[in-house]
Amino acid sequence: MNMQTSSRLEGIGEYYFSQKLREIEQLNKEGKQIINLGIGSPDLAPHPDVIKVLQETSAADNVHAYQSYKGSPILRNAISGFYQKWYGVIVDPDTEVLPLIGSKEGIMHICMTYLNTDDQALIPNPGYPTYSSAVKLAGGNPVYYDLTLQNNWEPDLEALEKTDLSKVKLMWVNYPHMPTGQLPSVRFFESLIAFATKHQILICHDNPYSFILNETPQSLLAIKGAKEVVVELNSLSKSSNMAGWRVGMLVGKKKKELTKCCVSNPIWIVVCTCQYNSLLQRRSA
Ligand SMILES: Cc1ncc(COP(=O)(O)O)c(C=O)c1O
């Protein structure tokens, strides 16, 4: 059978990293010994306590059914405590926290929730390739903004203001920034909130690297006025060496409408582990 793929896949192309990994595999086969710096996949194991709790939890008989669409209350409380302890951000565990199967899932949900055909989303260049794939899959149009060393890898908001922003609904930002590692400054975060408020653009802050090589983890939600214009994604993938476990979270006032697009049930066994897991507890202790 020659089944046609949907038109929404047109222009998406193969996922950037999937293609690169194939090329690296081929070069390695040719004896080139390529060091792969492409994907931020941790090469250490999770904390031994986490593995222990997973083993113990998986033996229980009440952890294998579907779990609630909005995530277990214990996990949502743990996430809320984590945000308060590490970022000084108060979020209501019932209404402002949505557990995810990794933050990547949230990138898709956000685009599906807010973008209509031909709506635009601002996307960092260089940046994580998933933003543009998700925007295109949702029917929107990516508009790339350049990040340069001269401008501390921050968007030039003044230059952006001179462009036509009338169709822009979302702006993807990611600090600490992948791939440059640039940390955010409070001054920059404040100007971003002012920009978003003025132009009524939802800032989607992708924040999986806040604990990596960084003593002062920051959340964009800590900035005054942010809750009105920001949703933030976070993840245990990098910070807790749990990339394959798929534990992420979406935090922000707009979480309610986002649950409409949330078709997954977070993985119960992993969630059970994480709700007791020493990493979440240690970070929120
Ligand atoms: C900037 C950025 N955002 C999101 C992700 C995906 O993280 P998760 O494992 O939580 O889906 C990655 C993974 O490499 C990333 O580099």
Each residue's pLDDT tens digit, 145-200:
999 999 999 999 999 999 999 999 999 999 999 999 999 999 999 999 999 999 99
- The answer to whether the CB of 48 falls within 8 A of the CB of 277 is no
Q: Which of 206, 211, 242 to mutate to test the pocket of ligand 1 (most atoms within 8 A of CB)?
A: 206
Query: What's the whole-number mean pLDDT along residues 223-227?
Result: 96
Structure tokens at 177: 């920034």
Q: 124: pLDDT confidence band, cut at 50, 70 and 90?
A: very high
Instruction: Output the CA 252–ligand 1 centroid distance in Å.
Output: 18
- The answer to whether the CB of 157 falls within 8 A of the CB of 192 is yes
Query: What's the whole-number mean pLDDT along residues 127-143?
Result: 94
At 121 the three-state DSSP class reads strand
Structure tokens at 273: 């582990």
Q: 205: pLDDT confidence band, cut at 50, 70 and 90?
A: very high
Query: Which of 130, 282, 154 has its CA nearest to residue 220?
Result: 154
Higher pLDDT, 211 or 264: 211
**Which pLDDT tens digit goes with each residue over 247-266?**
899 999 866 666 665 655 66
pLDDT at 282 over 70: no
Q: 42: pLDDT confidence band, cut at 50, 70 and 90?
A: confident
Q: Which of 235, 246, 249, 270 to mutate to test the pocket of ligand 1 (most atoms within 8 A of CB)?
A: 235
Residue 284: the pLDDT is 44
Quote the percentage of the chain above a pLDDT of 70.
87
Q: List the beta bridge partners of residue 233.
A: 206, 250
Residue 152: the pLDDT is 96
- Mode of pairing for the β-strands spanning 120-125 and 248-251: unpaired
**H or E element, residue 231:** strand 230-235
Quote the percentage of the chain above a pLDDT of 90.
54
Q: Give the number of the atom of ligand 1 that is nearest the alpha carbon of residue 178.
A: 1
Residue 5: the pLDDT is 82
Residue 225: the pLDDT is 95
Instruction: Output the CA 244–ligand 1 centroid distance in Å.
Output: 11
Instruction: Output the CA 208–ligand 1 centroid distance in Å.
Output: 6
Q: Give the number of the atom of ligand 1 that is nearest the alpha carbon of residue 174.
A: 1
Query: What's the whole-number mean pLDDT along residues 13-41?
Result: 80
Pocket of ligand 1 (CB under 6 A): 39-40, 102-104, 128, 174, 178, 206, 208, 235, 237, 243, 248
Stated pTM of the model:
0.89
Instruction: Output the CA 258–ligand 1 centroid distance in Å.
Output: 19
Domains, the chain, ordered by start: 90-266 (3.40.640.10)
Mean pLDDT across the chain, nearest whole number? 87
- The answer to whether the CB of 111 falls within 8 A of the CB of 140 is yes
Residue 259: the pLDDT is 64
Q: Give the number of the atom of ligand 1 that is nearest the alpha carbon of residue 206.
A: 3
Distance CA 118, CA 25 (A): 37
Burial class (CB in 10 A: 0-12, 13-18, 19+), 214: middle
Q: Which of 21, 100, 103 to mutate to test the pocket of ligand 1 (most atoms within 8 A of CB)?
A: 103
Residue 285: the pLDDT is 42
Where does the chain have alpha helices with state H?
Answer: 16-29, 48-58, 73-87, 103-114, 130-137, 157-161, 186-199, 226-229, 255-258, 268-276, 278-284
Instruction: Output the CA 103–ligand 1 centroid distance in Å.
Output: 6
Instruction: Output the CA 86–ligand 1 centroid distance in Å.
Output: 20
Task: Identify the residue whose C-alpha is closest to ligand 1 atom 6.
Answer: 104
- The answer to whether the CB of 143 falls within 8 A of the CB of 167 is no
